[in-house]
Chain A
Amino acid sequence: MDFKKLLEKDYIILDGAMGTMLQKMGLKLGGIPELLSITDPEKIISIHKSYIEAGSDIVYANTFGANRYKLKDCKYSVSEVIQASVKCAKKACEGTDTLTALDIGPIGQLLEPTGTLGFEDAYDIFKEQILTGSDADIIVLETMTDLYEVKAGLLAAKENSDKPVIVTMTFEENKRTFTGCCIPSMALTLEGLGADAIGVNCSLGPKELIPIIDELSKWTRLPIAVKPNAGLPDPVTNEYNVGADEFAEYIAEMNKYGINLVGGCCGTDPEYIKAAVKALSGLEPVKREKNIPSAICSPTSAVVIDQPRIIGERINPTGKRLFKEALKNKNIEYILGQAVEQIQGGAEILDINVGLPDIDEKEMMVKVIKAVQGIAETPLQIDSTDPAVLEAALRVYNGKPLVNSVNGEDESLEKILPLIKKYGAAVLGLTLDKNGIPKKADERFEIAKKIMNRALEYGISKENIFIDCLTLTASAEQEAVMETLDALERVKKELGLKTVLGVSNISFGLPNRGLINSTFLTMALTKGLDLPIINPNMEAMTGAVRAYRLLACHDKNSSDFIEHYGSDVHETTEKKDADYSLEYAIEKGLKEKAREITTALLEKHDAMEIINTMIIPALDKAGSDFETGRIFLPQLILSAGVAQEAFDVLKKSIASSNESSVEKGKIVLATVKGDVHDIGKNIVRVLLENYGYNVIDLGKDVAYEEVLRAVNENDCHLVGLSALMTTTLGSMADTIKLLRENNCDCKIMVGGAVLTPEYAEKIGADYYSKDAKQSVDIAKEVLG
């Protein structure tokens, strides 16, 4: 018997709880139940046997928590525990058709960005389990709440074995997991990554899981697995409140959603499995709809392409001096700012392009994707011409992305389509080939068709193939404009594919570009454009999409449109501000005002003068008010934030006028490895930037080597390290040690709640900074 054959059965019966059975036998809470496979194998075998007798086609070996992290202080190794456990299950299955599953539960630590466990570390933990459990027939990943962790596990399974993989995640009644993963995102991502069956287990009883199964059934073609708890537990006695017969009734009710694999989780025992078998025996399996919506997703948000959706184009260095500078300085904060601004403008997908000749594009791409996903729910379009960059990005992306792009050339198709298939992404095909962009719509259509057919051959389904018929500039090739739109229309109608178009190019070299862009956008939308790539910060562009959605009856009751424009009365309650000074704006925390005033000031003064005679004195005043207790920390930071706005205006002016930089010197900042508290460090960053220092902020939980590398690469002479916990002071000491061992020519300042001046000295720091204000004083001393 194998899994494929099993799937021919009406229903595959899984087993019930292992932990519940062991607790009934007197296992102490907190013990490691997996060890019983070594110390008391007969007990484990007898539990498996009782499920086999109840009708289980697959039993889960006693390996749920047998990972490197959970077995850290245990005298048995991962492989000893897993091999013993699989052996118990196999022994119980002897002489039957029942299959053994290697059962893998959550690692027990949260992954980055919320936690500190790296994606590749998680992958290694799973890989070890998968390799040592190779005697099992099937791999199961279950009780998962973090889509990123599941991705690491599923990739590890697919890359290190050829066994079928069943993945079940754990949802709360709000149809989300604890980390916010929604059902569509789970289904889109896991089906893409090649899971063989997906579903739900634990946390809720069968009744509460019905709406969850209902939704899941609309989002996947894969067999659906369900393992409910025996109802909900009493917090004190831990007794579950749904009996075996009631359990089975609900299972029968779920049948209408097309479930295929059925078992039980916490609180269930062989009686529940028997009852479920009985309840299903008279039923006909229900076939599900085979069409899945075209969509891409992050873990928490799926964007369905059932109406025009805006792709934000701004994360791209082409023609942007500040952006290029940010990439060279690895200034992730700047890029994140661009992401947030576009989302607030109305972007529903963000294009990510970080290609620049002098930088390591792969490394930067991975960094940016992780950072953007750490703060934004918006799904991403990964944009690179280098397959190695694309693969690295596809690996670490959490969810299902869109890849920009392939074209009609065989080489491009052969290199990139296998990656799309393997990582379950959607792909954007450009209608060009080695002869360039064809002039005529028909020729572009033919390339689109070729791309589609190739993608289908690779097993990429139609809803995941998008086509860009390519915009040419109207000033150069006026006749080509309609050709693009005609090609788009044909691709949409005749091939049934979703269409994408970069819009802004159309107006290049013409006056009033905004007018041309928004008109072209509207024309394209009526031809069937699904994904305009635009600058969402341009009101006319996002406005055109929103208006189109209203007029084309996508935006029902105009609710989205009214939400955005309904209260369109700009408030002018502020008093007349002719005599506001920049200093006043900084003191009172008036960001918008500071921006306006600075812009106005630039007409009469140069940037350095504004900095030295207005901003710095205002900041110094805020600093001394803070020291004397007239204001407290959030107010100091507020003033700093306003000064930052003024600086941004000045920086842009300097960037466009080629004046020399206002920056005084580089400072590397990091919250040390293992620590995730970064508020203090961020405050220090803001103040330092205010005083004109170029801060290279490495973020939180930063590896020692990364600090060293940043110091060397940037030829940096001041490093600030932060740690909040006593448990991470050791990391701070080790970071300093590494810097010293490598003879870095830099001073080190340290700060954080548990630090003392004595300890700072002991671990070899040059300065102890008691607060953010003091870090500025130190910077002045060291860098001037």
Chain B
Amino acid sequence: MANIESINIDEALRYMGYKDNIDIENIRDIICSCEKKLLSSAEPRYCYKIADIERSDKITVKNTDLMLAGKSISSHLAECQKVILLAATLSDKADKLISLMNVTDVTSALITDAMASAMTEQLCDIAEEEIRREHGIKHTTFRFSPGYGDFPIDIQRDFIKILSADKKIGLTANDSNILIPRKSVTAVIGISDKPLPQKKRGCAVCSMNKSCQYKKRGAHCGF
């Protein structure tokens, strides 16, 4: 289990639409108590695999039958020879805590839900850092998850299978390709042997720019 001692609360507040001029005095105690509860309930775990990639018209992960399809991932990994396949989860204890709060206090449920999202990102940061250190990896891309751009979300099942993520960290996907437990991430991180230019993120450089469902509404897929 990864060790996370505090939650990035600023990030969690941002997920809930916080802006600088808002006075949060009346929810400060709730925030503190939610943080404590989440930290004691969640069981943050991750697993990963480092693999070579091969390019033809699609990218395949060597020694597996996993294909990384789409223009977005292709351009993301343009300079890379290897990838880290990462899966991370806060376990179903986080889900259960939030479900319970939905009964007792929806404000806490909402805040804890946002905190759990922030905590999942923190877990991924820690995982990435540990993997880089362990394997002496210098140059990597940012994390690219199924559902970003045109990287298909229906890869989740195969992704989980290749990592044995169900066995190793208890991560599964349902028929709608939603990761379960809910506070979980799968991601591809490209590894290169030479420095990578700082890749741009965001809608402007996304291949889905014109047809994106999220963007139409002013939302964002995470890319």
Contacts and interface: CB of A to CB of B under 8 A. Distances in A.
A677 interface: yes
A39 to B, nearest CB: 15
Tier of interface size on chain B: 35 or more
Interface string A655-683: 00000000000000000001111110011
Given A108-B172, A116-B174, A756-B213, A629 B19 contact: yes
B172 A110 contact: yes
A679 B16 contact: no
A106 B166 contact: yes
B93 interface: yes
Nearest to A339: B103
Given A588-B26, A726-B213, A634 B172 contact: no
A682 B106 CA distance: 7
A632 B93 CA distance: 27
Contacts of B105: 641
A727 B19 contact: no
B87 to A, nearest CB: 12
A108 B166 contact: yes
A109 B26 contact: no
Given A235-B48, A632-B18, A333 B175 contact: no
Interface stretch (A23-31, A219-227, A287-295, A506-514): A23-31
Nearest to A727: B176
Contact of A725 (B21, B178, B217): B178
B47 A203 contact: no
Interface centre among B93, B99, B216 (most CB of A within 10 A): B99
Interface in A726-784: 726-728, 731, 753-756, 758-759
Contacts of B65: 28-31
A31 B214 CA distance: 34
Contacts of A727: 153, 176-178
A385 B162 CA distance: 50
A145 B107 contact: no
Contacts of A31: 65
B91 interface: yes
A626 to B, nearest CB: 9
A633 B50 CA distance: 41
B4 interface: no
Contact of A180 (B24, B93, B103): B93
Contacts of B93: 180
Nearest to B21: A629
A634 B110 contact: yes
Contacts of B50: 236
A635 B24 contact: yes
A523 interface: no
Interface string B58-82: 0000011110000000000000000
Contacts of A589: 26-27, 30, 107
Given A30-B158, A145-B170, A236-B135, A634 B216 contact: no
A254 interface: no
Contact of A375 (B17, B26, B100): B100
Interface string A9-30: 0000000000000000000111
B48 to A, nearest CB: 7
A113 interface: yes
A396 interface: no
B170 A629 contact: no
A69 to B, nearest CB: 8
Contacts of A202: 167
Contacts of A759: 213
B174 A117 contact: yes
A635 B71 CA distance: 41
Nearest to B16: A633
A551 to B, nearest CB: 32
Interface string B200-221: 0000000000000110110100
A582 to B, nearest CB: 16
B175 A632 contact: no
A170 B93 CA distance: 17
Interface residues of A, number: 65
B202 to A, nearest CB: 17
Nearest to B29: A589
Nearest to A376: B100
A580 interface: no
Contacts of B32: none
Contacts of B109: 679, 682
A38 interface: no
A638 B181 contact: no
Contacts of B107: 589, 634, 637-638, 641
A109 B176 contact: no
A634 B13 CA distance: 9
Given A589-B26, A629-B19, A676 B217 contact: no
A674 B175 contact: yes
Given A375-B96, A683-B106, A109 B175 contact: yes
Contacts of A753: 214, 217, 219
A178 B169 contact: yes
A586 to B, nearest CB: 11
Given A632-B17, A754-B217, A674 B176 contact: yes
A326 interface: no
Contacts of A109: 172-175, 180
A714 B172 CA distance: 36
A10 B176 CA distance: 49
Nearest to A673: B176
A588 B214 CA distance: 34
B35 interface: no
B106 A336 contact: no
B143 interface: no
B39 interface: no
A280 to B, nearest CB: 27
Nearest to B48: A235
A249 B106 CA distance: 53
A759 B63 CA distance: 41
A766 B44 CA distance: 42
B106 A114 contact: no
Interface centre among B30, B162, B213 (most CB of A within 10 A): B213
Interface centre among B64, B96, B102, B167 (most CB of A within 10 A): B102
A283 B57 CA distance: 61
B99 A756 contact: no
Given A236-B50, A632-B17, A29 B63 contact: yes
Contacts of B180: 109-110, 114-116, 676
Contact of A677 (B17, B19, B153, B182): B182
Interface string A101-113: 0000010111001
Interface string B148-186: 000001000110011000110110111111101110000
B111 interface: yes
A30 B159 CA distance: 8
Contacts of B66: 29-30
Interface in B178-199: 178, 180-182
Contacts of B128: none
Given A115-B180, A632-B18, A638-B27, 18 more contacts: A29-B162, A31-B65, A114-B96, A145-B170, A178-B91, A202-B167, A375-B100, A632-B17, A632-B19, A633-B17, A634-B107, A638-B26, A640-B106, A674-B174, A676-B174, A682-B109, A728-B178, A755-B217
Interface of B: 13, 16-19, 21-22, 24, 26-27, 30, 47-50, 63-66, 91-93, 95-96, 98-100, 102-107, 109-111, 113, 135, 147, 153, 157-158, 161-162, 166-167, 169-170, 172-178, 180-182, 213-214, 216-217, 219
6 contacts: A28-B65, A178-B169, A637-B110, A674-B174, A676-B180, A685-B106
Interface of A: 28-31, 106, 108-110, 113-117, 143, 145, 170, 178-180, 202-203, 235-236, 333, 336-337, 339-340, 374-376, 588-589, 629-635, 637-638, 640-641, 674-679, 682-683, 685-686, 725-728, 731, 753-756, 758-759
The 8 closest A-B pairs by CB, nearest first: A178-B170, A674-B176, A727-B176, A29-B64, A114-B92, A638-B107, A336-B103, A375-B100
